[in-house]
């Protein structure tokens, strides 16, 4: 009995030991499984389409950007998360048609060198070679690439200064970074061999997968259509970073690839966070972080960027700015009080459509010392100026002659006409709202439009209750009549004028019908049972030309170039963007 009891006790102890071993085994296995499945974050900071913009822009809204701010933000983000990649997708050289700060070849090269020194200090992991990087030729690009601490990547251009790809280990994962150069760059590449895009990319993607790479990032500046085609043709790309800015700043999906794009002139820094689980992207988040004045300058990068390269790099509202010792580390922006330049604006308080703000703001940006005064055209001083300078329409802008002593004068003199001791701004530049020289005809509405315009039929339906006088937008040349949409539109205008002459009772119905399908050659369908031969004969004759010439005379006199444009009471003129609804138009026309 004692023996049986001892055997049973031994068996129970043995079972407990085995259970403990099993619990420990499964616990350790669970830890391994959880470790493998646990989601990890990889952060990619990126730029593209920066065009060597060294300083914050002088924008009226969001004056963002600048290398020193970018460096400070990158430093902070890297400190918060060491598992971060920093990449540029191309277009970071100066020069070229997209560089609005371009000065001359030598200074543009120096700006590029400044950018590269700053990017070294920021710790870029890799950059893409695009056509913009060949702006100064092959020799310059290869020379600066070999001096940098970060690699220049392109998988379809063979040169010792470039690499096809790199592999970085981030958060325990192997990340492959690869870049491609657009074929158009070959014209500037001075003999470098370019491989066909898809073949080159496919081969390098295969190499990366053989090396056990878990995630592949492509840097490209081909353009939206070409990039989309490439991603669809070459499988295996996880993230595409585009070296061009686009209106939609959000992350898009092209098949399995997450696609993001650089921000123009580096005014924002892209931050793409990838959540990785089981070696695959499970989720992602994009932030485009403004480089606003809330981001302090990084002292290290500020120490390698000259204060200015030209006067245009210096800006202080209300002051004249001069760059002393430009493009050197002794450069400095010097600001002085500007001389006053008087601007008198003749306008009217009664008009519903006068807009002087845009012109005045334009001049203020060019002439810091501008002093603006506004005169109603009925005031005594205004009447004297109108008579003296034979002003036909308002708003009118009269500027002191001493504006020609301003630095900005060369850029704006084309908009000015010298009259005695002042300059008058050309109405072609400022726009006209109210014709002083025209007799007021209460209730008259003239409409200038094209039957070929989008939504022309909706426009006619919205305005028909106002019974406007209709004017087409054709022009007469020494070869006949022409219009924006070519001969077909001019011929339709001729027929419509003939319909108005012979069958005025159906004119509105006819042009409404044609506006619904102006490209159709079956214009007779809109004429109904009326005599189409009469209209055809009129349109082809001198009579049709005379009628259309009369129809477009007012538009030619008022220099109306596009529609829909409206003349109210024979004096006030304005245009609308697109087609207003009946309610909107009624509100506009309401006295």
For residue 544, the SS3 value is helix
Q: Which residues pair with 170 in a beta bridge?
A: 173
Residue 329 DSSP symbol:
T
How much is the pLDDT for 317?
A: 83
How much is the pLDDT for 5?
A: 41
Cα separation of 450 and 442, whole Å?
Answer: 25
CB 194 within 8 A of CB 138: no
Mean pLDDT over 489-502 rounds to 96
Ordered DSSP codes for 379-421: SHHHHHHHHHTT--EESEEEEEGGGGGSTTHHHHGGGEEEETT
Which of 289-293, 339-343, 452-456 shows the lowest mean pLDDT across its residues? Answer: 452-456
- Mutual angle of helices 456-463 and 582-589, in 10-degree steps: 50
pLDDT band at 18 (very low <50, low <70, confident <90, very high): low
How remote is the C-alpha of 501 from its chain's centroid? 47
CB 217 within 8 A of CB 174: no
How much is the pLDDT for 33?
A: 41
pLDDT band at 31 (very low <50, low <70, confident <90, very high): very low
pTM for the full model? 0.69
Cα end-to-end distance, the chain, whole Å: 117
- HSE at residue 7, side-chain half, CA atoms within 13 A, is 4
The string over 473-499, giving b where at least 16 C-beta atoms fall within 10 Å of a residue's C-beta and e elsewhere, is bbeeeeeebebebeeebbbbbbbbbbb
Residue 36 has pLDDT above 70, yes or no: no
Residue 532 has pLDDT above 50, yes or no: yes
What is the chain's alpha carbon radius of gyration, rounded to the nearest angstrom?
Answer: 35
Name the E strands within 204-324: 215-220, 239-242, 252-254, 257-261, 268-277, 280-290, 320-324
Domains defined for the chain, CATH in brackets: 40-302 (3.60.21.10), 306-337 (no CATH), 338-435 (3.40.30), 445-589 (3.40.30.10)
Cα separation of 52 and 133, whole Å?
Answer: 11
Q: What is the pLDDT of residues 449-488, one digit of tens each?
A: 999 988 999 999 999 999 999 999 999 988 899 999 888 9
Q: What is the pLDDT of residues 131-165, one digit of tens each?
A: 999 999 999 999 999 999 999 999 999 999 999 99
């Amino acid at each position: 009995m004692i023996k049986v009891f001892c055997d049973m006790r031994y068996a129970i102890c043995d079972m407990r030991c085995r259970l403990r071993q099993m619990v420990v085994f499964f616990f350790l296995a669970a830890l391994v499984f959880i470790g493998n499945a646990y989601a990890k974050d990889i952060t990619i900071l990126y730029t593209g389409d920066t065009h060597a913009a060294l300083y914050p822009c002088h924008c009226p809204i969001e004056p963002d950007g600048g290398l020193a701010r970018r460096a400070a933000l990158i430093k902070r983000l890297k400190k918060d998360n060491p598992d971060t990649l920093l990449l540029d997708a191309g277009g970071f050289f100066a020069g070229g048609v997209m560089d609005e700060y371009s000065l001359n070849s030598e200074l543009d090269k120096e700006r590029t060198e400044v950018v590269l020194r700053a990017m070294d200090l920021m710790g870029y992991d890799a950059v893409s070679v695009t056509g913009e990087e060949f702006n100064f030729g092959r020799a310059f690009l290869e020379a600066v690439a070999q001096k940098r601490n970060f690699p220049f990547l392109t998988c379809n251009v063979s040169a010792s200064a470039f690499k096809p790809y790199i592999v970085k280990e981030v958060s325990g994962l192997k990340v492959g970074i690869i870049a491609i150069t657009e074929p158009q760059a070959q014209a500037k590449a001075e003999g470098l061999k370019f491989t066909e895009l898809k073949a080159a990319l496919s081969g390098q993607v295969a190499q990366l997968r053989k090396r056990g790479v878990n995630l592949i990032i492509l840097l490209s500046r081909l353009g939206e259509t070409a990039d989309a085609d490439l991603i669809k043709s070459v499988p295996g790309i996880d993230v595409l970073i585009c070296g061009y800015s686009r209106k939609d700043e959000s992350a898009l999906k092209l098949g399995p690839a997450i696609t993001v794009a650089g921000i123009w002139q580096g005014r924002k820094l892209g931050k793409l966070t990838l959540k990785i689980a089981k070696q695959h992207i499970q989720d992602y988040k994009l932030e485009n972080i403004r480089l606003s004045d809330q981001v302090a300058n990084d002292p290290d990068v500020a120490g390698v960027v000259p204060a200015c390269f030209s006067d245009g790099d210096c800006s202080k509202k209300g002051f004249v700015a001069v760059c002393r010792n430009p493009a050197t580390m002794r450069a400095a922006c010097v600001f002085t009080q500007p001389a006053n330049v008087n601007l008198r604006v003749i306008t009217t308080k009664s008009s519903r459509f006068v807009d002087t703000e845009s012109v005045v703001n334009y001049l203020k940006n060019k002439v810091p010392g501008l002093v603006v005064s506004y005169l109603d055209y009925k005031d005594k001083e205004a009447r004297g100026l109108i008579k003296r300078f034979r002003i036909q329409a308002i708003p009118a802008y009269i500027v002191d002659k001493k504006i020609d002593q301003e630095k900005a004068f060369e850029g704006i003199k084309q908009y000015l006409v010298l009259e005695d001791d002042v300059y008058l701004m050309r109405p072609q530049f400022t726009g006209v709202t109210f014709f002083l020289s025209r007799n007021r005809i209460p209730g008259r509405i003239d409409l200038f439009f094209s039957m070929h315009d989008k939504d022309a039929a909706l426009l006619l339906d919205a305005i028909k209750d106002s019974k406007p006088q209709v004017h087409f937008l054709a022009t007469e040349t020494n070869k006949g009549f022409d219009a924006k949409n070519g001969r077909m539109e001019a011929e339709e205008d001729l027929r419509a004028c003939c319909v108005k002459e012979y069958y005025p009772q159906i004119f509105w119905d006819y042009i409404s019908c044609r506006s619904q399908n102006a490209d159709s050659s079956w214009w007779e369908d809109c004429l109904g049972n009326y005599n189409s031969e009469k209209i055809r004969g009129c349109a082809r004759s001198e009579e049709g030309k005379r009628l259309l010439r009369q129809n477009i005379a007012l538009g030619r006199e008022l220099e109306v170039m596009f529609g829909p444009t409206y003349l109210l009471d024979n004096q006030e003129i304005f245009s609308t963007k697109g087609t207003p609804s009946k309610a909107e138009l009624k509100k506009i026309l309401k006295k």
